[in-house]
Structure 1
Amino acid sequence: MAQESINGYTRHWWKEAVVYQIYPRSFQDSNGDGIGDLPGITSRLDYLKNLGVDVLWLSPHYDSPNADNGYDIRDYRKVMREFGTMQDFDDLLAGVKGRGMRMIVDLVANHTSDEHAWFVESRKSKDNPYRDYYLWRPGKPQPDGQLLPPNNFGSAFSGPAWTLDASTGEYYLHLFAEKQPDLNWDNPKVRDEVYDLMRFWLDKGVDGFRMDVIPFISKDAAFPDVLPHESQVHINANGPHLHEYLREMNDRVLSHYDCTTVGEAHGITIEDTPQLVDERRHELNMIFNFDTVRLNRDGRNWRRWSLPELKAIYTRQDVALGKHSWNTIFLANHDNPRLVSAFGDDSPEYREKSAKLLVTMLLTLKGTPYLYQGDELGMTNYPFRSIEEYDDIEAKNAWAHDVLTGYESAEHYLENLAKVSRDHARTPMQWDASANAGFTSGSKPWLAVNPNYTGINAAQVVADPYSVYQFTRNLLALRKATLALVYGDFEDMAPEHPSLFLYERTLGDERYLIALNFSRDTVALPEPVANGRVVLSNTEGKFGELRGWEARIVLA
């Protein structure tokens, strides 16, 4: 039986859903050890159900030594000890399903922990049966007797991407931390292992996977050097067998379940996105393109961005992704600073208004929206001051590589890090005004709670009918009831305007105009917006204008 089509798009539950990302370590601690856990998440499911989200995305919950906060997996079929037990996971999943929601989990299949049983065996000898589960290569001997890495790849976490293992005298590849060796996907046994563990979680009842750095799984086995004009990230993301392996994964696993996939896709351009997500290719459903969320970055450095730049990206996405492809809409996650601090105005006067404006944009653009925990509260960046206050391995490795070697001044590094650090998103969820924001009953959370928690917390916003939380809840209900905001055509009505994002979503005779003022100044509105029926707004606006950080949805 053919699936229903709307405006040329095939209907799927994951296109109409809104996803809420949970970072387990920072969501809710249930046992007082200062670390969030699975029972803690279960205890907050009614809060999430009341908010109105459809799908929970659970960041890695697997057994891990935590070199990279769970993205270094030691055992894919075991729950991290700090997070609880497999029974706790089963209880959480049952609680999610019992409330009519779904859950996707992270799939980290490009690399494992160096403590994974496969790698423990792999490094024992060159003829070990698990040797080819990973990417081992001899070094390059130099005339002076020095041994250099096989090529000039750099790690995303600073330093070379190759580590020499003394036991066999060969290097292994790790595109991320030294404790995260890359798997060799050219070995069919590795692919079989990955597909089997995917079935394990799908058979438990999870509804899909967010796939960590999934375009990196295929490598050029010759490992040529990256040339000066080349981007290593682009090379890593476009290996020779990427599409072959994704189609195999779909054929052998994903196509047998009613599930969804979203790939983290550093190095994949907007124009190349359909190569991964066009439904006729049978690879992935969606990917995260990072052009928007990294707009305020130049490498590791913060940069000023302009609204026309942001709008142009959304238009490029809409043009590139036709009726057979689907987009993701997000501006925050566990790897990026807080939404309102990065793209809004986190001053006391405008924090709530700009948080509401940003949520309005996320929930009315074309694509599946992804909210990150705390977005619905308008949580802000933490006031980090010294490198000792940070936890992130990326930040600490870059400090050692750039600052301690004298390449960059400590002042300049910390100034940038305070704006772009991943740790901003990882500070504990702010539940109430009690000690440690109600996150833990223990004396010390694993990462410091933002000191503004007494004024920004869930207990406060749930009780306030005008809060960011309630506004988000109303928006979620509006999107759920309005197919034009899901499948409707998109058009930017004022692409060059420096502070007004004005776009329409059109489905048949329904025409919604969304007007967003990305500034503190008042801007004039064109007649169709001024005269339309206001469906939702974040303030009592005036006819014909938008005040500072005002957002308005109008039915024209």
Structure 2
Amino acid sequence: MIKKWWENAVIYQVYPRSFQDSDGDGIGDLQGVIKRLPYIQKLGVDVIWLNPIYKSPDRDNGYDVSDYEDIQPVFGNMATFDQLLTEAHKRHIKLVMDLVVNHSSDQQKWFIESQKSKDNPYHDYYIWQDGEPGKLPNNWGSYFSGPAWTYSKKLGQYYMHLFAKEQPELNWQNSKMRQDVYKMMRWWLDKGIDGFRMDSISLLDKPDGYPDAPNPGHALYADAQPIVADGPRLENYLKEMNHEVLSKYDMVSIGEMIGSKVDDAKKYTGRGHHELDMIFQFEHVTLTPNKDKRLGKWNNIPVKLTDLKASLSKWQNGLNATGWNSLYWNNHDQPRAVSRFGNDSEQYHTLSAKMLALTLHLLKGTPYIYQGEELGMTNCHYTDISQYQDLESLNAFDELVNQEKIVSKETMLDYLANMSRDNARTPMQWDTSKNAGFSTGRPWMTVNPNYSQINAANQVNDPNSVFAFYQKLIQLRHTFDLIVYGNYHELDPDDKDIFAYTRNYEGQKMLIISNFTAKTVSRDYDQAHASKLVISNYADDQGTEIRPYESKAYLFK
């Protein structure tokens, strides 16, 4: 087996808008990322994944790209980007860009041309359907509420958008459009970037005829089944992309695969299939849909540990021999891990943040750290809708509270506090100064009030901090092939309190035990016969007694 550089790497996700502001306008920027490279280097990660920094109207915080080869002015310019790339590489940190080619902005030059006439050469770069006002092509709803179609009176046609109406879907059946995308990808790779994380890449192939969903709702899911995901042409598109672009560079390709199953991921990431290197799957972060299907993901339901283990184990076992996992608890689209899967109370915050880190980082796959996760940053717990910025959250509140009156204002605010994407997008908490050291101006989003307790300055030199614990986990992955390549085996899948598993590789075994509760329990996994306690979030080891949110790993030889 030829080993790849990204297999033992740890990737740090930077959401530039919220990371560090360098010029006082309240919005993070590329100079801010450059300023904080020493911090990222000190953490010990190998790769930065940068959320979109392309020119954009910012209808969806950069995921509506109007120019794929230019930088959003609020972030800087191409010279600033080149400086960031150079400075990161000097520190032996690779840089991965977000690639958004399922859709573009409605202000992208292709779409502007597309709207001019039906015979315009760019018209077929997007998905248009003949129709008349009020008679939609099908019953699909967009992910951000409302129908997935918008009407052009001039053309007498509807265009498709699975997200905001300002994000029209690109037509991947158009070979010329695909070649223009590949040309753009090569342009970035020739600049020296080290890979792409591909947004919504599982949605490229829409079903022929655009049939109605079994139940009206957004087009990605109906009764938890994907309608627009993993279409029959998707593999051909990915193989073509690999042949035209990916295989020609020493890079990593990461697919965001909404709705994909284990068998799909085996095909996409299997070495012999020549498609992608790894994927993001969503199963473990979508385990608690509301029982009222009209509410979708909006809920305040704790995740059952048995469900969480079953999901993670399915993917660990499924991709063990063929394929590769992306390991993550949270990102820019998910609530903060310690608030959702751990316990963000003052008593258990640090312990549970470390427990989640150890549980995830010793699995098989490539771990991702979302900015602030290494500090244990928490959900923001906003109490008024005026505090939210996220389009998905605002639209859901308007639809479910104001229009359809399905839930009360108070209930929906509780759901948003638990599940809104804005929980992940509050500014990075650097120190105890004004605005947490993020900006000298007014931040684009309210800083989490707990920044005076949870911040980088308090942790980077504290050997007992969450930050220091992440440093140790990253060093372990760089040290042990067992962690990178070992087989996975879950212990006691029905245990409602403990997540325990083993990793085995070339005569070594590692036992990982994590308590997901605030109570002390007793479990005997033969810890007494281990040759070494490798890492723990407690200062001592009490063997079979597993204390609240305790997590530890033993080595057996």
TM-score computed with the length of structure 1 as normaliser = 0.95
1:405-429 superposed Cα distances (whole Å, 9 cap, x missing partner): 1233222211111100000100000
Q: Compare 543-552 and 178-187 and name the one that shifted more.
A: 543-552
Paired residue secondary structure (2:106): coil
Paired residue secondary structure (1:198): helix
- Determine the C-alpha separation between the residues in 1 that align with 2:229 and 2:267: 12
- Determine the C-alpha separation between the residues in 1 that align with 2:289 and 2:48: 28
Paired residue secondary structure (2:271): coil
The answer to whether the 8 Å contact 2:141/2:216 transfers is no
1:46-69 superposed Cα distances (whole Å, 9 cap, x missing partner): 111110111110000100010000
Match of 2:394 in 1: 396
Paired residue secondary structure (2:484): helix
Match of 1:301 in 2: 298
| Residue 549 (structure 1) aligned with residue 549 (structure 2) | yes
* Pairwise CA RMSD: 1.4
| Residue 127 (structure 1) aligned with residue 119 (structure 2) | yes
1:155-174 pair list within 5 angstroms: 155-174=142-161
1:372-521 pair list within 5 angstroms: 372-405=370-403, 406-442=405-441, 444-521=442-519
- Determine the C-alpha separation between the residues in 1 that align with 2:438 and 2:535: 32
| Residue 203 (structure 1) aligned with residue 190 (structure 2) | yes
Q: Compare 284-293 and 174-183 and name the one that shifted more.
A: 284-293
Paired residue secondary structure (1:472): helix
Paired residue secondary structure (1:536): strand
1:20-44 superposed Cα distances (whole Å, 9 cap, x missing partner): 1000000000000000000100111
Shift of 1:496: 1.1
1:252-292 superposed Cα distances (whole Å, 9 cap, x missing partner): 11000011111111111123221211111111111111111
- Which of the residues 137, 146, 158 maps onto 1:150? 137
- Determine the C-alpha separation between the residues in 2 that align with 1:91 and 1:502: 44
| Residue 257 (structure 1) aligned with residue 249 (structure 2) | yes
Shift of 1:221: 3.9
The answer to whether the 8 Å contact 1:530/1:545 transfers is no
- Determine the C-alpha separation between the residues in 1 that align with 2:501 and 2:272: 29
- Determine the C-alpha separation between the residues in 2 that align with 1:310 and 1:393: 28
The answer to whether the 8 Å contact 1:541/1:550 transfers is no
- Determine the C-alpha separation between the residues in 1 that align with 2:354 and 2:460: 15
Match of 2:205 in 1: 218
The answer to whether the 8 Å contact 1:432/1:460 transfers is yes
Query: Amino acid of the residue matched to residue 311 of structure 2?
Result: I
Shift of 1:231: 8.7
- Determine the C-alpha separation between the residues in 1 that align with 2:217 and 2:268: 22
Q: Compare 58-67 and 288-297 and name the one that shifted more.
A: 288-297
Shift of 1:387: 1.0
Paired residue secondary structure (1:271): helix
The answer to whether the 8 Å contact 2:11/2:366 transfers is yes
- Determine the C-alpha separation between the residues in 2 that align with 1:246 and 1:272: 12
| Residue 311 (structure 1) aligned with residue 303 (structure 2) | no
Percent identity for Structure 1 against Structure 2: 48
The answer to whether the 8 Å contact 1:541/1:547 transfers is no
Match of 1:359 in 2: 357
- Determine the C-alpha separation between the residues in 2 that align with 1:239 and 1:508: 39
1:321-360 pair list within 5 angstroms: 321-360=319-358
Shift of 1:223: 1.2
Shift of 1:305: 1.9
- Determine the C-alpha separation between the residues in 2 that align with 1:529 and 1:61: 48
Q: Compare 518-527 and 324-333 and name the one that shifted more.
A: 518-527
Shift of 1:463: 2.1
Match of 2:293 in 1: none
1:238-257 superposed Cα distances (whole Å, 9 cap, x missing partner): 22311111100000110000
Query: Amino acid of the residue matched to residue 58 of structure 1?
Result: L
Shift of 1:530: 3.8
Paired residue secondary structure (2:526): helix
1:174-223 superposed Cα distances (whole Å, 9 cap, x missing partner): 00001000011111111011001100110011111100000111112411
- Determine the C-alpha separation between the residues in 2 that align with 1:486 and 1:463: 28
Q: Compare 381-390 and 269-278 and name the one that shifted more.
A: 269-278
Q: Compare 538-547 and 524-533 and name the one that shifted more.
A: 524-533
- Which of the residues 4, 18, 23 maps onto 2:15? 23
- Determine the C-alpha separation between the residues in 1 that align with 2:375 and 2:257: 28
1:208-287 pair list within 5 angstroms: 208-228=195-215, 232-233=219-220, 234-287=226-279
The answer to whether the 8 Å contact 1:219/1:236 transfers is yes
Paired residue secondary structure (1:60): coil
Match of 1:74 in 2: 66
Shift of 1:168: 1.4
Any stretches of 5+ residues in structure 2 without a counterpart? 221-225, 291-295
Q: Compare 311-320 and 456-465 and name the one that shifted more.
A: 311-320
Paired residue secondary structure (1:292): helix
- Determine the C-alpha separation between the residues in 2 that align with 1:230 and 1:161: 10
- Determine the C-alpha separation between the residues in 1 that align with 2:246 and 2:188: 12
Any stretches of 5+ residues in structure 1 without a counterpart? none
Alignment: residue pair count = 542
Query: Amino acid of the residue matched to residue 425 of structure 1?
Result: A
- Label 1:164 to 1:229 Cα distance change in 2 as closer, same or farther (>3 A): closer
1:427-456 superposed Cα distances (whole Å, 9 cap, x missing partner): 0000000000000011x1000100010111
- Determine the C-alpha separation between the residues in 2 that align with 1:130 and 1:318: 43
Paired residue secondary structure (1:543): coil
The answer to whether the 8 Å contact 1:280/1:324 transfers is no
| Residue 42 (structure 1) aligned with residue 27 (structure 2) | no
Q: Compare 191-200 and 519-528 and name the one that shifted more.
A: 519-528
- Determine the C-alpha separation between the residues in 1 that align with 2:33 and 2:371: 11
